[in-house]
Structure 1
Amino acid sequence: MTLAEEFKSRNFSIYGQWTGVVCIFLCFALGVANIFNFDLIILFSVICLVCAFLIIFIEIPLLLRICPTSSSFDAFIRRFATNYMRAAIYGIMSVIQWISISVKATSLIAAAVLLLIAAVFYLAAGIKGQAFQGSKTLGGQGVAQMII
C-alpha cells in the first residue's frame, strides 16, 4: 500500500499517525527553541522534548526493534497500541502544553494544537470502530518482520 493509498483509505488512525510524525519534529524544534527562556517555560519545553522522543517510539514501531531499550520501556510503549490509548496520551501531552499558556504565551501553543489534532484523529478512529492500522511507510505491519 503506497502512502497515497493509505491516505485514501479514510482510516483516521493513519491520519493520527502521520500527524504524530509531524508532532515529533514540531515538539523537538519548539522544545529546543523555548528552552532558552529563563522562567518556568523551561519546564514545559523540556516536557515537549521528552514528548518528542516518546512519540518517536509510539509512532515508529520499527525503532523498538533496532534501538536498545529496556523491557519496561518497551512494555510502556506497547500500551499505546489502540486508538483510544493513543488518543489519551496525545490528549495528556496536549493539555500539558496548553497549561504552559498560563505561565507565558509562547510558540508551544503550536505543539499543543497539533497534539490535540492527533488526539482527535485517534479518538475519531476509535469512535468509528476502525482498527488501528499502522502506516507501512513508518515500519508498520510487515516492515518490522523483514528486519528479523
Structure 2
Amino acid sequence: MSLAEEFRSRNFSIYGQWTGVLCIILCLAVGIANIFSFNAVLIVFSVLCIISGCILVFIEVPFLLRICPTSEKFDVFIRRFTTNWMRAAMYTIMSIVQWLSLLKDPSSLLAAAVFLLIAGLFYGLAGLKSQEFVGSKTLGGQGIAQMIV
C-alpha cells in the first residue's frame, strides 16, 4: 500500500501516526529551543517535551526498536502502546503536560501541546469507530519490520 493509499483508507490511526511524526519533530524542536530560557519552570517543561519526543520516536517508528539497542523494560513499556486507545491516552497526557507549561509563561511549547492533542484526537476517533490500529508501512509497519527480522 502506497502512502497515498494509506491516507485514502480513512483509517484515523494512520492520520494519528503521521501527526505523531510531526509531534516528534515539534517536541524536539520546541523543547530544545525553550531549554535555553532563564525560566526554571519552562526548562523543566522543555525537558519533558524532549523526553516525550524521544519516546514518540520509538512508538511511531516501530522498526527502531529492532535496530536500536534498548533495554527489555523499555521495549515492554513501548509495546504497551499498540492499541488506538492506549495511544490516545498517551498523547492526551503528553498534551496536558505541555498545556500546563502555559500556567507560568506562554511559550512555543503551545505548538507541541496542540499537535499532541490533535494526534490524541485522531487515535481517539479510530478507537471510537472501532478501527483496527494500522501502522504505516512507510514508517516501519508490517512491511519493513518483517524484512529486518
Q: Provide the residue aligned with 2:144 in structure 1.
A: 143
Q: Distance in 1 between matches of 2:148 and 2:131?
A: 28
Instruction: Map 1:26-65 onto structure 2 (within 5 A).
Output: 26-39=26-39, 40-65=41-66
Aligned residues: 148
Show CA shifts across 1:8-50 (max 9, x none): 0000000000000000000000000000111110000000000
Amino acid at match of 2:50: L
Cα offset, 1:142, TM superposition: 2.1
Q: Distance in 2 between matches of 1:30 and 1:100?
A: 12
Amino acid at match of 1:69: T
The root-mean-square deviation of aligned C-alpha atoms, in Å, is 0.4
Q: Distance in 2 between matches of 1:109 and 1:139?
A: 29
Give the match's secondary structure for 1:81. Answer: coil
Q: What TM-score do you get using the length of structure 2 for normalisation?
A: 0.98
Q: Provide the residue aligned with 1:71 in structure 2.
A: 72
Q: What TM-score do you get using the length of structure 1 for normalisation?
A: 0.99
Show CA shifts across 1:63-118 (max 9, x none): 00000000010000000000000000000000000000001100000000000000
Instruction: Map 1:98-137 onto structure 2 (within 5 A).
Output: 98-137=99-138
Q: Provide the residue aligned with 1:22 in structure 2.
A: 22
Give the match's secondary structure for 2:10. Answer: coil
Query: Which runs of structure 1 show a deviation greater than 2 angstroms over 4 or more consecutive aligned residues?
Result: none
Give the match's secondary structure for 1:106. Answer: coil
Q: Distance in 2 between matches of 1:73 and 1:107?
A: 29
Structure 2: state its 5+ residue gaps. Answer: none
Cα offset, 1:147, TM superposition: 1.0
Cα offset, 1:145, TM superposition: 1.1
Amino acid at match of 2:48: I
Q: Distance in 1 between matches of 2:57 and 2:21?
A: 7
Give the match's secondary structure for 1:145. Answer: helix
Identity of aligned residues (%): 66
Amino acid at match of 1:4: A
Give the match's secondary structure for 1:57. Answer: helix
Structure 1: state its 5+ residue gaps. Answer: none
